[in-house]
């Protein structure tokens, strides 16, 4: 308390004045914009058809430029096919039960604040799930070894993302249409850095460090033994293409001079176009990047020359790229960084946040922090959601169910297709109110292995750069 205030400093008056009076309101905390889920195409999933739907796609018939021999019939030609799937699951969380007598006498309505915070949790949780699915596809099949090893056929690696399944339509016992678990009959060809040279091997099995995981740390079973140094590059032949600033085969080449530039944007967009990836419905590709990536672009000499003598242009006035090179840019503070991925601050992997790539250039927090702008085209990820009103029966339910409408700091939080459940009080005094959110569905990233080059996922491209 200050020595002086507007109150007369009279010892007979001062005790009559209430000090430290609480303002009767909860103020909103800082909260990110939830943008990743906006790129997912929502599709209402029909019930009673199983919890793991499979979707089919086709490639192209090979062009035939030879003329037909006179007097003969045309020959037949088949076209390749592929399938990918989804796995319908339920997500949800409950807020602390609200004791209504306590809420009635508290400085502000605890029940309304609990419901508000629950909506923020729902929106952010599903947004990060979509983020991880997009990035796991964009970074699949790129990792490094864990420690010096060899000769061994059990290769320890930092991430098994993109190394657990394979598709071998030409092998007698291989997976012909869908990507199935790797085995000796369904191997995944890879390249392992041995003495500085990328050497061909096959993955015929895997073992995750965490049971049931297919993204984080683990080991790959190879058909032929290898001897490798620590953090040697390991690449699958159908790996996703990464635009890595400065080039190189692994994340360790990134350092503090590997800065995001306009040339990297051109490379990412060119990659999408070269594989015939269509733009989104707005006829533009989308790029999500964090504020650090955005700031680096503004320091690029080529970008500065582009905007010479335009100090009042919106890019400088609003500090936003907006639209450039047929791409719409979104400044996204939920982009994967050590601060936004569980375990990132300790350079460790956690199934609580299944992000299948490293966040530091050397696998330790002493390395360079990795930033990853991601570019996407149309049809990359779809949200299959189940209408939870179909779960109701003739017996009804206890309480109410509805959709969220949450605004935080004046910004509408995306909670579409998420149900808010308000349960009637079940205690004897009818005073404990329970609130929860629920979502049933999945986010499916389609493969495009039968068209274009060998990359399994083509509708996402990630750029990797340093601080």
One domain for residues 109 and 181:
no
| Average confidence (pLDDT) over 314-321 | 83
pLDDT digits (tens, 9 = 90+) for 355-389: 999 999 999 999 999 999 999 999 999 999 988 87
Mean pLDDT over the full length of the chain: 89
**72, part of any domain:** no
What is the domain extent for residue 217?
143-238
Q: How many domains does one find in the chain? A: 2
State pLDDT tens for residues 187-225. Answer: 999 999 999 999 999 999 999 999 999 999 999 999 999
- On whether residue 69 sits in a domain, the answer given is no
**Tokens matching residue 162:** 């993109």
As a three-state string, the secondary structure of 331-389 is ECCCCCCCCCCCCHHHCCCCCCCCCCCCCECCCCCCCCECECCEEECCCCEEEEECCHH
Of 238, 259, 287, which marks where a domain is finished?
238
Q: Are residues 135 and 201 in the same domain?
A: no
Same domain for 174 and 211? yes
26 compared with 369, residue with greater pLDDT: 369
Residue 418 has pLDDT above 70, yes or no: yes
pLDDT at 98: 83
With respect to residue 16, please indicate whether it lies within any of the assigned structural domains. no
User: If you average pLDDT over residues 299-312, what whole number do you get?
Assistant: 85
Q: Within a domain: residue 280?
A: yes
DSSP 72-107: -PPPP----EEEEE---EEEEEEPPPEEHHHHHHSS
* Residue 332, C-beta contacts closer than 8 angstroms, at least 6 positions apart: 32, 33, 35, 36, 288, 289, 290
Q: Residue 91: which CATH number?
A: 3.90.1690
User: Do 250 and 367 share a structural domain?
Assistant: yes
Q: Does any domain span residue 70?
A: no
Same domain as 426, residue 309: yes
Contact between 53 and 386 (Cβ < 8 Å) = no
| Phi, psi angle pair for 231, to nearest 5° | 60, 45
Whether 381 and 134 have beta carbons less than 8 Å apart is answered as yes
458 and 413 in one domain?
yes
pLDDT of 29 > 80? The answer is no
Q: Is the pLDDT of residue 229 over 50?
A: yes
CB contact at 8 A, 430 and 454: no
Q: Which DSSP helix (H) or strand (E) runs through 43?
A: strand 41-44
For range 306-326, the mean pLDDT: 84
In this structure, the number of other CB atoms found within 10 A of the CB of residue 202 comes to: 17
Q: Are 244 and 168 contained in the same domain? A: no
| pLDDT of 1 | 47
Q: 75 lies in a domain? A: no
pLDDT band at 26 (very low <50, low <70, confident <90, very high): low
Which of these three, 184, 219, 238, is where a domain ends?
238
- Do 157 and 301 lie in a common domain? no
Shared domain check, 100 and 180: no
The number of beta carbons lying within 10 Å of the beta carbon of residue 115 is 19
Residue 319 banded pLDDT, cuts 50, 70, 90: confident
Q: Is 295 helix (H, G, I), strand (E, B) or coil?
A: helix
pTM over 0.75: yes
C-alpha pair distances (Å), 274 with each of 125, 270, 292, 423, 451: 34, 6, 28, 53, 11
Mean pLDDT computed over 148-158: 96
Q: Do 227 and 150 belong to one domain?
A: yes
What is the average pLDDT across 421-433?
Answer: 85
Identify which has the larger pLDDT, 29 or 255: 255
Instruction: Write the pLDDT tens digit of every residue in 81-126.
Output: 999 999 889 999 998 888 888 777 765 677 788 888 888 899 899 9
Closest CA to 18 of 4, 2, 3, 7: 7
Instruction: Indicate the pLDDT class of residue 19, thresholds 50, 70 and 90.
Output: low
- Asked if residue 25 belongs to a domain, the reply is no
The mean pLDDT of 309-317, rounded to a whole number, is 79
More confident position, 306 or 222: 222
Question: In terms of C-beta distances under 8 Å and separation of at least 24 residues, what long-range contacts does 16-25 make, across chains too?
Answer: 22/107, 23/107, 24/107, 24/108, 25/107, 25/108
Task: Spell out the long-range contacts of 182-188 with Cβ–Cβ below 8 A and sequence spacing 24 or more.
Answer: 182/206, 184/223, 187/223, 188/163, 188/236, 188/237, 188/238
Same domain, 289 and 370: yes
The answer to whether residue 18 scores a pLDDT higher than 70 is no
Percent of the chain with pLDDT over 90: 61
79: in domain: no
227 and 376 together in one domain: no
Q: What average pLDDT does the segment 55-62 reach?
A: 90
Domain boundary among 188, 207, 238: 238
């Amino acid at each position: 308390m200050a020595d002086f205030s507007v109150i007369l400093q009279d010892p007979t008056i001062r005790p009559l004045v209430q000090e430290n009076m609480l303002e009767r309101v909860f103020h909103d905390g800082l909260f990110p914009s939830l943008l990743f889920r906006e790129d997912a195409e929502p599709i209402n999933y029909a019930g009673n058809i199983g919890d793991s739907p499979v979707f089919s796609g086709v490639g192209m018939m090979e062009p035939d430029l030879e003329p037909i021999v006179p007097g003969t019939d045309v020959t037949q030609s088949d076209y390749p096919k592929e399938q990918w799937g989804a796995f319908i699951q339920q997500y949800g969380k409950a807020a602390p039960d609200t004791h209504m007598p306590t809420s009635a006498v508290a400085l502000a309505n605890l029940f309304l604040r609990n419901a508000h915070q629950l909506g923020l949790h729902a929106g952010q949780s599903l947004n990060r799930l979509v983020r991880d699915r997009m990035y796991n596809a964009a970074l699949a099949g790129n990792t490094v070894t864990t420690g010096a090893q060899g000769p061994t056929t059990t290769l320890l690696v930092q991430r098994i993302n993109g190394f657990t399944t394979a598709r071998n339509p030409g092998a007698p016992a291989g997976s012909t249409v869908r990507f199935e678990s790797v085995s000796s009959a369904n191997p995944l060809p890879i390249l392992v850095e041995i003495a500085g040279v990328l050497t061909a091997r096959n993955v015929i099995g895997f073992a995750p460090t965490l049971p049931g995981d297919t993204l984080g740390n683990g080991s790959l079973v190879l058909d032929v033994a290898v001897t490798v140094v620590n953090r040697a590059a390991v690449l699958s032949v159908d790996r996703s293409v990464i635009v890595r600033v400065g080039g190189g085969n692994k994340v360790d080449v990134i350092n503090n001079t590997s800065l995001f530039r306009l040339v990297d944007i051109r490379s990412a967009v060119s990659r999408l176009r070269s594989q015939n990836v269509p733009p989104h419905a707005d006829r533009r590709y989308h790029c999500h990047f964090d504020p650090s990536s955005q700031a680096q672009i503004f320091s690029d000499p080529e970008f500065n020359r582009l905007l010479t003598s335009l100090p009042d242009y919106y890019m400088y006035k609003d500090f936003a790229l907006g639209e450039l090179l047929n791409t719409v840019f979104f400044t996204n503070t939920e982009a994967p960084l050590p601060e936004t991925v569980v375990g990132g601050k300790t350079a460790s992997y956690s199934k609580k946040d299944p992000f299948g790539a490293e966040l530091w250039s050397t696998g330790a927090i002493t390395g360079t922090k990795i930033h990853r702008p991601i570019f996407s085209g149309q049809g990359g990820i779809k949200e299959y959601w189940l209408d939870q009103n179909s779960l109701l029966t003739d017996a009804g339910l206890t309480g109410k169910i509805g959709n969220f409408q949450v605004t935080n700091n004046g910004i509408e939080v995306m909670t579409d297709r998420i149900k808010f459940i308000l349960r009637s009080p079940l205690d004897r005094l009818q005073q404990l109110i329970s609130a929860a959110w629920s979502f049933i569905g999945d986010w499916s990233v389609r493969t495009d292995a039968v068209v274009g080059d060998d990359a399994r996922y083509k509708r996402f491209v990630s750029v990797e750069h340093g601080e």
